[in-house]
Amino acid sequence: MRIEDEVPYSLEVKDFFSGAALYADGTICASWSPQGLAFKLPEQKAESLIAKGKAKPLKYFPKGHVKKGYALFEDPESRKAVTWKKYFLKAVQQVLVIQQVDGCI
């Protein structure tokens, strides 16, 4: 089943710098860049993945600030696609949480 069929949001991909970003209902939830594949996750989940060495903090520029709540996976080609699908779905679900907190829903 395609991700588009599993989520209640409109999905859109936009090019940026030397990569692309996935937006769910107008909110960014994942990005692809030369550094790797990054997902917007619940902050505790992202921190746990980073602490365990499974992911790295996301910074768009070497001197830029760390994007909180994002987990960056270097060399995503080394993992199976099913792994990434799970993270994409979690990232899209995080959009609902963000919108509820911001009062959009």
| Domain residue extents for the chain | 3-101
Query: What predicted TM-score, i.e. pTM, was given to this entire model?
Result: 0.84
pLDDT tens digit string along 73-96?
998 888 888 889 899 999 998 887
- 3-class secondary structure, 87: helix
Instruction: Take residue 4 and report the two structure tokens written for it.
Output: 């588009």
DSSP, collapsed to helix, strand or coil, labels residue 27 as: strand
For domain 3-101, the question of CATH label 3.30.1460 is answered with yes
Q: What is the pLDDT of residues 32-73, one digit of tens each?
A: 988 899 999 999 999 999 999 999 999 878 888 999 999 999
Q: How far apart are CA 59 and CA 37, in angstroms?
A: 12
| Confidence (pLDDT) at 6 | 77
